[in-house]
Structure 1
Amino acid sequence: MRAAWRDLSERLGPGTLRDILLVNLAVGIVGVSYGAITVGDGLPLWAPNLMSIVVLGGASQFLFTGIIGAGGSPVAAVLAGLLVNARHLPFGFALADTVKNRPVLGSYLMIDEVVAFALSEKDPVRRRLVFFTCGGCLWVFWNIGSLLGGLLGSAVTDTDAFGLDAAFPAVLVALVMPALRDRRTRTVALVGAVVAVAVTPLLPAGTAVLLALAALALLPLMRGAGEAS
């Protein structure tokens, strides 16, 4: 095992492997938050662990738990999760060559953090290695985190008192911060945030975030304005 890990470190480079582990450590912390919140909302201990294995999608899992916890129907929760995961369609197009030899496993591991690491690599062979390494690490960290969180949620009745509900949005903010260096991206993100906040009281849980994606329509307009100037 140690020799295999050393070989992987040499192939990826210690910096890349370190970054993968650090990001997935954060994913594991979010998994603790997810497991604790799910069990704290009254779902059985097996529920977050089963969903983490079958679904392996933090955003859709949090959304499912939030809708069920608020009294929504399981059908509405599943549909909302499917809508949120619609973003994986362009992920699949972008990484089709990377996962073509293992399409089922590749589709299963096609999570935001894994996609981000893979797309940062130009060499196809290295991109494939980074994709499956990051995906395998994420699977381990997320499932261990959700199990520990579920056990914690069984022992603690008020998980919000420990700030566990803030872990998921905090990690998302950390992930998007580098992209916000671009002025156009900041503008689109701000418009999307305003839209989401404005319609949240009016729409079912989870749909406000999807509607905020309409802000992406600004990108072609801003690009055209930049070329004209």
Structure 2
Amino acid sequence: MHDSFRRGIRLGVPFAGVGLLLSLSFGVLAVQTGLSPFQAVVMSAVVHAGSAQFAALSVVAAGGGVLPAVASGGLMNARFLAMGIALAPSLPGRPAVRALQGQAVVDPSWAMASNGDGTFDRWQLFGATVPQYAGWLTGTALGAYGGDLLGDTDRFGLDAVFPTFFLALLLAELRDPRSRGVAVAGAVVALVLVPFTPAGVPVLAASVAALVGLARRR
């Protein structure tokens, strides 16, 4: 347990650095959109999902209300349904206990905790999420409360962090022959749909490839 948890922390630190830059951008943009710095930090603490937070923020910036923003964020997070289904057998306890443990699922942690045989190391998952969560909150606070010092975030290239982040995850999966086909299928589905569908739909559709791969393994 302790070795897995510590290994997870070590693996999560590089992703925490990426998340800090991404959440820094979110904090700045959230305040520019109309949220207070405190609201931006609370949103990151509760949601901790970059794609969902940026999707909700884009709806608010476009003049949408709370419900459309929540729906947009929920659509972006729908991929966690497939990830949760795959993870569930590796989590002990009653449904409520498993659901609580499942709150540690973020994309890098889920991928790094996979044992490659359909099972997951839950303590490595927990450990990998700890530095990422800390980095996400820290970046959001820095961006929200110190955004005036940064000005236009685009000139720092922070808008490119998010796609680069997911590309790194994809490349990691491509190195494993057992998951290569699923990774390629998901990438193709997402790339085809990006120009024609609303934000969130490509990720949701790509998760179907993961479900198909899981079903075939079983």
Both structures adopt the same fold (TM-score exceeding 0.5): yes
Q: Based on CA coordinates, which of the two structures has the bigger radius of gyration?
A: 1
| 1:27 and 1:142 in contact (8 A); partners too | yes
User: In structure 2, which of residues 136, 146, 149 is the aligned counterpart of residue 142 of structure 1?
Assistant: 136
Seen in structure 2, the aligned counterparts of structure 1 residues 88 and 14 have a Cα distance that, compared at 3 Å, is: closer
Match of 2:69 in 1: 77
Match of 1:160 in 2: 154
Q: What TM-score comes out, normalization by structure 1 length?
A: 0.74
Q: Are residue 31 (structure 1) and residue 26 (structure 2) matched?
A: no
Match of 1:195 in 2: 193
Seen in structure 2, the aligned counterparts of structure 1 residues 161 and 154 have a Cα distance that, compared at 3 Å, is: same
For 1:104-183, what aligned pairs fall within 5 Å after superposition?
Answer: 104-120=99-115, 127-180=121-174, 182=180
2:130 maps to amino acid: G
Match of 1:3 in 2: none
User: In structure 1, which of residues 198, 204, 213 is the aligned counterpart of residue 206 of structure 2?
Assistant: 213
Match of 1:54 in 2: 46
Q: Distance in 2 between matches of 1:177 and 1:129?
A: 24
Q: Considering Cα pairs closer than 8 Å and 6+ residues apart, tell me whether 1 or 2 has the greater RCO.
A: 2
What fraction of aligned residue pairs are identical, expressed as a percent?
A: 30
Seen in structure 2, the aligned counterparts of structure 1 residues 55 and 162 have a Cα distance that, compared at 3 Å, is: same
User: In structure 2, which of residues 87, 90, 94 is the aligned counterpart of residue 95 of structure 1?
Assistant: 87
Look up the SS of the partner of 2:36 in the other structure: coil
After the TM superposition, which parts of structure 1 deviate over 6 Å for at least 4 consecutive aligned residues?
Answer: 121-124
Which runs of no fewer than 5 residues in structure 1 stay unpaired?
Answer: 1-6, 224-229
Match of 1:21 in 2: 13
Seen in structure 2, the aligned counterparts of structure 1 residues 152 and 161 have a Cα distance that, compared at 3 Å, is: farther
Superposition deviation, residue 216 in structure 1: 3.8
Match of 1:4 in 2: none
| 2:19 and 2:136 in contact (8 A); partners too | yes
2:159 maps to amino acid: D
Count, aligned residues: 206
Q: Distance in 2 between matches of 1:30 and 1:165?
A: 8
Q: Distance in 2 between matches of 1:183 and 1:111?
A: 22
| 1:98 and 1:127 in contact (8 A); partners too | yes
Q: CA RMSD in A?
A: 3.2
Which runs of no fewer than 5 residues in structure 2 stay unpaired?
Answer: none
Superposition deviation, residue 28 in structure 1: 2.1
